[in-house]
Amino acid sequence: MNTLIKDIEIIQTEQPIAADAPVRVLANSEGKRKLYIESYGCQMNFSDSEIVASIMAEQGFGTTDRYEEADLVFLNTCSIREKAEQTARKRLTEINKLKRKKPDLIVGVLGCMAERLKGKFLEEEKIVDLVVGPDAYRDLPKLVSEVDNGQRSVNVLLSREETYADIAPVRLNSNGISAFVSIMRGCDNMCSFCVVPFTRGRERSRDPQSIVAESKALFEQGYREITLLGQNVDSYKWAGEANKKETDEAEAAGKPVVSFANLLEMVAQISPLLRVRFSTSHPKDMTDEVLYVMKKYDNICKYIHLPVQSGNSRILEMMNRTYDRAWYIDRIKAIRNILGEECGISSDMIAGFCSETEEEHKDTLSLMEFVQYDYAYMFAYSEREGTLAARKYADDVPEEVKKRRLQEIIDLQRNLALQRNRLDLGKVHEILIDGESKRNSEELKGRNSANKVVIFPKKHYEKGQYVKVLIKDCTTATLFGEVID
């Protein structure tokens, strides 16, 4: 997904973001020096870029939508797949051409790729002046000052405490309707294929009162939808400490603990006009308590992103996902029983993990057919240096087999998405309007509770309104309808 933010206005495609696609987090504002930020990867990175923009704004940096005009260029990077890193490196090569003409230009690499490849960037990528990990953004002003004085700077220290809870992000998603609110950072799930625990550090939760206060402030500013973000939101836990170990100790000692279900309810109670979403959930931590809170409040969207990765129990064990096929199916049944068939469910799938057989691949396909996902993020396995899988298992599935299995997953998901969308034909959905359709300025778009994009004639309706839309047509990715007054 390419997102260009200009004059604090976001233009967003109707498809989920791909980890290797850039998101240009830009805004025009006054300032003696100009900052350009470009983000890659997950929603957490986009949220982090808003924090970075806030920190640099306090130092007098304005922002620009053209990197050619910038005095400072940041790439907020992703390491989830090799292609994402290759894309960022290619972008650095392009920026290097500008730096040759503009030697005072400061170039910084932020985020997960900075954390993972810090040494290589400073030693091999001569274009890079500054390397900063996800927990060190408060240090950016000092590091930029060091570069101004002729040094190359780095801070990739991971923290057990940092949540940036006291920083008010610059809301680059300035359609004024939707915003991200980070509730926790890091991850304690050591999935064998994943670099996140090494690039974002240990899990820690944010003070719930600061989350509610930020969400309430957004609502008062006119925002009508927030997404609570975390690597694993279901493991959110607060007992007066951000550090998970200390929180667990406090819980064991009988201190009151705020769970994710509690937090979700607190945010939902701000106003029935404020939609609440969340991402991402882990199957091992998704509780019925969360599902019942979702059922209780109409403004908590009935949509869950529940990554499965594989439909085979042996592969799941190798991935260290800590659940098996039966456990995952039980969670899907709970979602359907409590929230109904209309609850949107999406997932992540990896094709061709180490030693995966043809029958095990078919288990993934059969699980997809059982769940009937609304959409999914689908990838071929990409070995990441330093992960448990890279150290312990051979990446022995041939690339052509990975590609063929991935295509089978994609083809099946397209069919499932179309089938799911056809179930909405003739039904009326409440839609929060978030802007014009990209393809037709006479049409508006928004999303229903299940996170599906809905397109309908503009008429007199405006962004930020809730409208009832009768669904009359669909594609694999989009619903089409008309507003019912």
Sequential DSSP letters for 125-167? -TT--EEE-TT-GGGHHHHHHHHHTT--EEE----SS---TT-
Q: Which two tokens stand for residue 138?
A: 């408060």
Distance (Å) of CA 358 to CA 79, 161, 348, 403, 405: 28, 44, 19, 13, 9
User: Cβ–Cβ contacts within 10 Å for residue 219, how many?
Assistant: 18
Distance (Å) of CA 36 to CA 68, 79, 149, 428: 9, 21, 21, 42
Residue with tokens 């109409």: 298
* Architecture of the structural domain at 176-301: 2-Layer Sandwich (3.30)
DSSP 309: B
**Cβ contacts of 360 within 8 Å, gap of 6 or more:** 310, 312, 314, 315
Instruction: Quote the radius of gyration of the chain (alpha carbons, Å).
Output: 22
**Three-state DSSP class for residue 280:** coil
Among candidate residues 266, 359, 285, the one with its CA nearest the CA of residue 323: 285
Q: What is the pLDDT of residues 398-447, one digit of tens each?
A: 999 999 999 999 999 999 999 999 999 999 999 999 999 989 999 999 99
Cis-peptide into 280, omega within 30 deg: yes
Give the residue range(s) of CATH 3.40.50.2300 domains in the chain.
3-155
> How far is C-alpha 236 from the geometric centre of its chain's CA atoms?
16
Torsion of CA 235, 239, 240, 242, to 10 degrees: -20
The answer to whether residues 288 and 338 touch, using CB atoms and an 8 Å cutoff, is: yes
Q: Say how far apart CA 275 and CA 376 lie, in whole Å.
A: 22
Side-chain-side CA neighbours of 71 within 13 Å: the count stands at: 13
- Say what the pLDDT of residue 239 is: 86
Q: Say how far apart CA 323 and CA 65 lie, in whole Å.
A: 45
- Say what the pLDDT of residue 273 is: 97
pTM of the model: 0.86
Q: Which CATH class name applies to 428-483?
A: mainly beta
375-380/453-457 β-pairing = unpaired
The answer to whether residues 444 and 456 touch, using CB atoms and an 8 Å cutoff, is: yes
DSSP code string of 229-259: E-TTGGG-EESS-SBHHHHHHHHHTT---EE
The domain defined by 3-155 folds into Rossmann fold (3.40.50)
Let me know the angle formed at the C-alpha of 277 by 276 and 281, rounded to the nearest 5 degrees. 140
Give the residue range(s) of CATH 2.40.50.140 domains in the chain.
428-483
Averaged over successive runs of 10 residues, the pLDDT of the chain (485 residues) comes to 27 34 45 84 86 91 85 88 82 87 90 79 73 92 92 86 85 79 93 90 92 96 95 92 71 85 98 97 96 98 98 98 98 98 97 98 98 96 92 97 98 98 98 94 96 97 96 97 93
Among candidate residues 267, 280, 353, 367, the one with its CA nearest the CA of residue 314: 353
- Say what the pLDDT of residue 23 is: 44
**Three-state DSSP class for residue 315:** helix
Q: What is the pLDDT of residues 61-80, one digit of tens each?
A: 988 878 888 999 999 988 77
- Say what the pLDDT of residue 125 is: 56
Q: Say how far apart CA 228 and CA 214 lie, in whole Å.
A: 11
DSSP 42: S
Among candidate residues 439, 442, 447, the one with its CA nearest the CA of residue 471: 447
